[in-house]
Amino acid sequence: MSIKTKIQGMINSKHMLPSITLASLLESTIVPIPLEALLVPLMQKRREKLWLIALMATIGCLIGAMLGYLFGHFLFDLMRDIIMQYLTTEEQFSRFQKRMETDGFWFIFSTGITPIPLQIAMLAAGVTAYSIPLFLLATAMGRVIRYFGLAVLVYYFGNKTEKLIKRYKWQAVTLAVCVVALVWWLIIFK
């Protein structure tokens, strides 16, 4: 069954909003398919629920992010000795942990809006025991920009949104990566 067929079935389903939440949770944890492929057509067809769709996608992502954080935290605890013996040293890990303390918020935030997989930030935050409230705030901010940004596009451009995204996808990705790189450069060389 193709994505378009699944979207068509979901459009008028009474389970549309929980399905979006679940899809977002799965996308943020284990399914490497961008949620935008589902959200944009759905938002175009159900414009009366545009903001609710973006909200449910954000909530699903936050639940998935928390699961990924916990997975990274507890898996690292179980495997710390092996990791320290074969993959890194206590000194290297300590430097990584300090780096997450100082720059982790912006790293996590940037994975929420760029093509960098959020899973990397979730695991890094969990492994280093990064502040959970700051982790959730950075994740929420990044994904709110991403999902509500799509909702704004659909609000203003309606059914033309999907074509606009396809046409300007790489320019938008390049712009987002450049902005994030500039912020990182400013943070590192402050």
Please choose, from the candidates 98, 64, 94, 100, the residue with its C-alpha nearest in 3D space to the C-alpha of residue 80.
94
Distance CA 118, CA 1 (A): 27
- pTM of the entire predicted model: 0.82
Residue 174 pLDDT > 80: no
Distance CA 35, CA 38 (A): 5
Mean pLDDT confidence for 7-23? 80
pLDDT for the residue 159 = 86
pLDDT for the residue 175 = 65
pLDDT for the residue 64 = 95
Q: Which of 55-69, 115-129, 175-189 has the lowest mean pLDDT?
A: 175-189
End-to-end CA distance of the chain: 51
| Residue that wins the pLDDT comparison between 20 and 13 | 20
Percent of the chain residues past pLDDT 70, beyond the cut: 82
pLDDT tens string 105-155: 988 988 888 777 888 889 889 999 999 999 999 999 999 988 998 899 899
Three-state DSSP at 41 gives: helix
Please choose, from the candidates 99, 21, 100, the residue with its C-alpha nearest in 3D space to the C-alpha of residue 64.
21
pLDDT for the residue 130 = 94
Q: Are 119 and 29 in contact (CB under 8 A)?
A: yes
